Structure 1
Amino acid sequence: MEEHRHVTIYDIAEKLNLATSTISRALKDHHSISDKTIKKVKKAAEEMGFVPNTLAAGLRGNKTKTIGVLIPTITQPFLSSLISGIEITARKSDYSVIIMQSHDSYSDEVNMARSLFKSRVSGVICSLAMETKSTSHFDQFSANNIPLVFVDRVPKGYNTFRVVIDNYAAAYKAVKHLIDQGCKRIAHITTGSEFGHLYNERKRGYIDAIVEHGLTFDENLIITLKTMTYEEGVRASNKLFDLKPMPDGLFAPGDLLAVSAVQTAKKRGVKVPDDFAVIGFNNDPISEIIEPNISTITHPAEKMGSAAASIIIDNIEKRREDEAKEITFLNTEVLVRESSKKI
């Protein structure tokens, strides 16, 4: 059986008895080629099953029109919405998207960053892994003028573009809501990651809201996790319920952790929100499915993804070398639902 072979511009040139340069220009609608020849070449290309090798063309020009997206996971609703925003904006400018998941592993993130660089992506959008210990693996992009945008989980002090929300203000609003509902001992779950700028800001907002509203700040009410999983949330919740006196409120930095707290409370006979009010973060679909519904903070994930993709494309297409800047979305809101509504 004859091995299948891709049709090339050389095959079209041979069939039409034209120069390969003429075929190449005709396929690109070049002004130097007559309309008649362009139509003839395109008709032959279609009949012969010719498919342009866009990757090879991109590599020759060192421009693949591909955006690499490196995120912890695609299973989190926030991150899947973020990807949607990136992909929609990229497609409008004829860019494709490569998605890689670090699964919150630092070593995987390092390897995937290297893989994206070898693939000659045009730009990179990244939300850091929870385990990230250093950001030096991103230097290969900066050193080669490949636009780099960090989104949501961003490193401190890395001189590149960042797209974030005001995590401090959002956390402050969440805790103030619990205080307004009459909570006096409000707990918080966080992570000890050195690069967890997002979680550090939410913790700072939590502490300031407590102190500025005249409540006593108790370090024992803060539980630090290595990973933000449901199972870790259950462990953290049990620790909080074992405290004497028990907290009467919780600000969780993600809806999955808020769900784990509500379900643990049910198992231990703790009434939500009467004994224990809960507010989460992100407005994930699960927050509306569980009973009681979870109060949460909105998070404009799709808009953030779109903004990140626009930064990449603007820098490539316009050959701009903007000074790295932070784009902060301020439109986060408290969505009050059953899990925190005492009053």
Structure 2
Amino acid sequence: MKKGKATIHDIADKLNITASTVSRALNDNPRISESTKKQVIKMAKQLNYQPNHIASALRSGKSKLIGVVVPTVNRNFFSSIIRGVEEIANGLGYRVIISQSYEDYEKEVETIEALLNARVDGIFASIGKNTSNFEHFQKVLDKNIPLILFDRFTNELEVSQIVIDDYQAAYQVTKHLITQGCSRIVHFTSAKKISIYKDRLRGYEDALRDHNLPIDPLLIEESNMQLEDGRICTENLLKKAVQFDAIFSSSDYAAMGALQVLKEKGFKIPQEVKIAGFGNEPFTSFTDPPITTVDQKAIPMGRVTAETFFATLNNEKTDETQQKTVLKPELIIRQSTQNK
């Protein structure tokens, strides 16, 4: 055998059979006897044969691979979505390639190109905050590869979308804070071109209007929603002497930053300032006090995303090329917003 990776030809030479017989045996073709299949599989293991998925994809038109693009995997939300996708995909014999965009447009473009080169059968993606040009996603559609967007999406692409009701979630959080006696509620938001932040801001503003409270631009802080951003935004509010009695952050991380600063400055939570986040990251139940937040149903979102892909693959939705599935979020009320 030549140096390098073993091929089906190497297996065929060892067993004195044809390469086509080896290929059929490895693919469990019913025309091949069980004894031959066992011999082929045994020899493949001995030679450490690794199948060429790209070549196989070219022959069959199916790679049994799905590409999943997330901004980052070190968030419980996105890792849970991946888990939900794999629960469905792995059960149907598909494997998942996970890629991170790190909220970087160029990285996102490169990632999509790499997945296309890997001949994936479908791509699931959550759009990065800095993405405003969607040509790389349109390229996926132009190649007739199913593209499904989850959590963060754009209406500029005619694709299926799997989301939660961000508007209703934000409305419910704001309403909860108002019922707890708050009237000067700060809202931490992010790039308004991202649909989820736009919808959460709209839910916040509508809840204020419906309860006859003014919308004060001084109470709306825009940032990247990381922990440090939450700290900076809170410090800015205090420096400007802006009066507020609650903070509703579109991110648990920024909410945590706010909690840190306020406690450092001697504020009592929730007596003087109430704090609510978004995402139900695990740490929110262990802070002092535990943080009220929104559960985004990440695992169900991942499952539905995969189910939508396979339904499309099986032509179960022949009357429509796209659909929008909206999952119902859950408000989890904890001590950071409750009156004693």
TM-score, scaled relative to structure 2: 0.93
Partner of 2:272: 275
Partner of 2:207: 209
Q: Distance in 1 between matches of 2:332 and 2:302?
A: 22
Cα shift at 1:287: 0.5
SS at match of 2:206: helix
Deviations 1:303-334 (A, max 9, x none): 1111112222333355866421111101x222
For residue 216 of structure 1, what is the amino acid of its counterpart? P
CA contact (8 A) 1:103 1:129 kept: yes
Partner of 2:92: 93
CA contact (8 A) 1:131 1:193 kept: no
Partner of 2:77: 78
Task: Return closer, same or farther for 1:269/1:60 CA change in 2, 3 Å cut-off.
Answer: same
Deviations 1:161-204 (A, max 9, x none): 1000000000000001101100011110112342x100000000
Task: Return closer, same or farther for 1:319/1:33 CA change in 2, 3 Å cut-off.
Answer: farther
Task: Return closer, same or farther for 1:268/1:49 CA change in 2, 3 Å cut-off.
Answer: closer
- Within 5 Å, which residues of 2 pair with 1:156-171? 156-171=155-170
- Within 5 Å, which residues of 2 pair with 1:29-108? 29-108=28-107
Q: Distance in 1 between matches of 2:262 and 2:47?
A: 67
Q: Distance in 1 between matches of 2:118 and 2:305?
A: 20
SS at match of 1:98: strand
Partner of 1:291: 288
For residue 219 of structure 2, what is the amino acid of its counterpart? L
Q: Percent identity?
A: 36
Partner of 2:21: 22
- Within 5 Å, which residues of 2 pair with 1:182-221? 182-194=181-193, 196-221=194-219
Q: Distance in 2 between matches of 1:53 and 1:111?
A: 22
Q: Distance in 2 between matches of 1:55 and 1:117?
A: 11
CA contact (8 A) 1:273 1:339 kept: yes
Cα shift at 1:28: 2.9
Partner of 1:232: 229
For residue 289 of structure 1, what is the amino acid of its counterpart? F
For residue 112 of structure 1, what is the amino acid of its counterpart? T
Task: Return closer, same or farther for 1:219/1:86 CA change in 2, 3 Å cut-off.
Answer: same
TM-score, scaled relative to structure 1: 0.92
Q: Distance in 2 between matches of 1:5 and 1:129?
A: 39
SS at match of 2:278: coil
SS at match of 2:167: helix
253-262 or 10-19: which moved more?
A: 10-19
CA contact (8 A) 1:130 1:193 kept: no
Cα shift at 1:6: 3.2
Task: Return closer, same or farther for 1:214/1:295 CA change in 2, 3 Å cut-off.
Answer: same
Cα shift at 1:121: 1.4
For residue 140 of structure 1, what is the amino acid of its counterpart? K
SS at match of 1:251: strand
CA contact (8 A) 2:54 2:119 kept: no
Task: Return closer, same or farther for 1:21/1:106 CA change in 2, 3 Å cut-off.
Answer: closer
Which structure 1 segments of 5+ residues have no match?
Answer: none
Which structure 2 segments of 5+ residues have no match?
Answer: none
CA contact (8 A) 1:296 1:335 kept: yes
TM-align CA RMSD: 2.1
CA contact (8 A) 2:227 2:255 kept: no
SS at match of 2:169: helix
63-72 or 180-189: which moved more?
A: 63-72
CA contact (8 A) 2:138 2:157 kept: no
CA contact (8 A) 1:241 1:247 kept: no
Cα shift at 1:149: 0.8
Q: Distance in 1 between matches of 2:24 and 2:309?
A: 29
Cα shift at 1:47: 4.5
Deviations 1:288-316 (A, max 9, x none): 12111101111100111111122223333
Partner of 2:263: 266
Q: Distance in 2 between matches of 1:251 and 1:26?
A: 59
SS at match of 1:68: strand
Within the alignment, does 1:316 sit opposite 2:313 as a pair? yes
Cα shift at 1:76: 1.2
Cα shift at 1:261: 0.8
Cα shift at 1:4: 4.1
Cα shift at 1:99: 1.4
Q: Distance in 2 between matches of 1:41 and 1:191?
A: 56
Cα shift at 1:56: 2.1
